[in-house]
Amino acid sequence: MQMKNVTSSEITICGRTYDEYIEMVKAFHGHVAPGMVFGGFMVDLAYRNLPRGGYFDAICETTACLPDAIQILTPCTVGNGWLKVINLGRFALSLFNKYTGNGVRIFVDSQKLDDWPEVKTFFFKLKPKKEQEFEALISEARLAHTSIFSIQKVMIDLDSVKTRRRGTLVVCTQCGEGYPENDGKICLGCQGRAPYSHCEVPSL
Ligand code: ZN
């Protein structure tokens, strides 16, 4: 057992105390999801392994929780394009220099979970969520802190994460809204990709 016995008062997350971070999580994410706690530790660990003061973009390999931890703690958001969510289904993130592609990847190391039964149960969904004990998981997460992650040096293929330009915009003949001409004769929404089972102008 590599119990480091880090108390939550000793944990800092990108310069904030653990409790300050938890308040930010509540305000932004709506509730304290365990994934947000792990995510805070991961972003902090990434910064500790990067040169100080650089400009870093982010890649997140899961849609669950982790993108919000990145958006709270870094200048990178989905909206400004500095955070790309590439759903590989792995609880992992990378922060990298946006000009050179050099960076670090932090991931949950399945080899390191055996000492942490609650954490392992969470990441591998070994029990239905209802049966997982939130408090036990969070206190174990704080004890485990960054010991369950591993770090890789990475070089990002910048071309593959470049924001695709929308090109020429035209008006869709079906819905009358603007869309990128490259998407086809009508917009993707009218091609059946919109998720609405019903859509109409309300009669007031
Ligand atoms: Zn359309």
What per-residue confidence (pLDDT) applies to 162? Answer: 85
Give the Å distance between the CA of 181 and the centre of ligand 1: 11
| Cα 87 from Cα 84, distance rounded (Å) | 9
pLDDT, average across residues 34-53: 96
Q: What percent of the chain has pLDDT over 90?
A: 82
Report the separation in Å between the CA atom of 192 and the middle of ligand 1, taken as the mean of its atom positions: 9
For 98-145, the pLDDT digits (tens) are 999 999 999 999 999 999 999 999 999 998 888 889 999 999 999 999
Predicted pLDDT of residue 4: 53
Span 68-107, pLDDT tens digits: 999 999 999 999 999 999 999 999 999 999 999 999 999 9
Q: How far is the CA of 116 from the centre of ligand 1 (A)?
A: 51
The predicted structure's pLDDT at residue 77: 97
Rounded mean pLDDT, 181-189: 95
Domain 8-161 has CATH 3.40.50.300: no
Amino acid 75: pLDDT: 96
- Cα dihedral angle (43, 46, 47, 52), rounded to 10 degrees? -160
- Dihedral sign from CA coordinates of 39, 114, 10, 56: negative
* The pTM of the whole model exceeds 0.85: yes
Cα 170 to middle of ligand 1, angstroms: 10
Please, which residues have CB less than 5 A from ligand 1, an ion? 172, 174-175, 187, 190
Taking the centre of ligand 1 as the mean of its atom positions, its distance from the CA of residue 196, in whole angstroms, is 13
**Residue 165 reports pLDDT greater than 80:** no
Rounded distance, CA 29 to CA 41, Å?
A: 16
Nearest alpha carbon to residue 51 among 102, 15, 99: 102
DSSP string, 48-78: HTS-TT--EEEEES-SSSHHHHHHHHSS--T
Per-residue pLDDT at 204: 77
CATH architecture, domain 165-204: 2-Layer Sandwich (3.30)
Q: Which residues are CB-contacts of 94 (< 8 A; sequence separation ≥ 6)? A: 46, 58, 59, 103, 104, 105, 106, 154, 156
The tokens of 59 are what? Answer: 């890649």
Closest C-alpha among 89, 199, 105 to residue 155:
105
pLDDT for 5 equals 54
**For the chain, domain boundaries:** 8-161, 165-204
Q: 86 C-alpha vs ligand 1 centroid, how far in Å?
A: 26
The pLDDT score that the predictor gives to residue 53 is: 85
**Amino acid 41: pLDDT:** 98
> Sorting pLDDT into bands at 50, 70 and 90, what band is 1?
very low
